[in-house]
Amino acid sequence: MFKKVKYFLTLILILVIFYVFTAIYSFHQLHRGIFYNDKKLIDKYIEWESVRNNVKNYINIKILNKTQSEEKLKNLSDVEILLSGFAGKFIEIAIDTYLNSDGIILLLEKSQKKNEIPKPSFITFIGCPLIMHNNGINSFYINYEIEGKKYPIYFLRNGIKWKIIKIEFPKKLFEKMK
């Protein structure tokens, strides 16, 4: 009886270790893809359609809140409402066009933050759990920080791979763009 319990507990421990390892490995592979500008690795670990929809929804909500909160925008004519609809569609087209692995690589090449990304190594691999936050049994997130603002990036398990599905933006992201 004791051998069966010991065997069962060992099996559960191995499965938990494997489960955690898949999350760490996926995050590390994405890190490698970003560091080495590898489009295939980036595509493998980002669910682009989900991320695009997330960004579109965020921007559309911000536009809607802005038009509803400002008094001068509440009294728009039909033509002005139509033009604001075109602006929203233009933003969606831009997101569909540029939010992909090529766009990410172009952005990283032009970024001054590129030099701050640590080179992928065994140390960064074993350090992954320090920045990963559990968000349920099939999800975790990391906080990417720029200029004191945190951008949670959510990963969701898909088989044994984990992919980015969502990025949250700070509430006051567009405050400076008035």
Q: How far from chain centre, in Å, is Cα 95? A: 14
Check residue 99 and give left, alpha or beta (phi > 0: left; psi -120 to 50: alpha).
Answer: beta
Helix H or strand E segment including 145: strand 139-146
> Encoding tokens for residue 95?
């997101």
Overall number of domains in the chain? 1
Query: pTM for this one?
Result: 0.78
Q: What are phi and psi of 123, to 5 degrees?
A: -65, -45
The boundaries of the domain holding residue 25 are: 2-177
**C-beta of residue 76 within 8 angstroms of C-beta of residue 84:** yes
Residue 122: the pLDDT is 93
Regions of the chain short of the pLDDT cut 70: 66-84, 172-178
**C-beta of residue 126 within 8 angstroms of C-beta of residue 117:** no
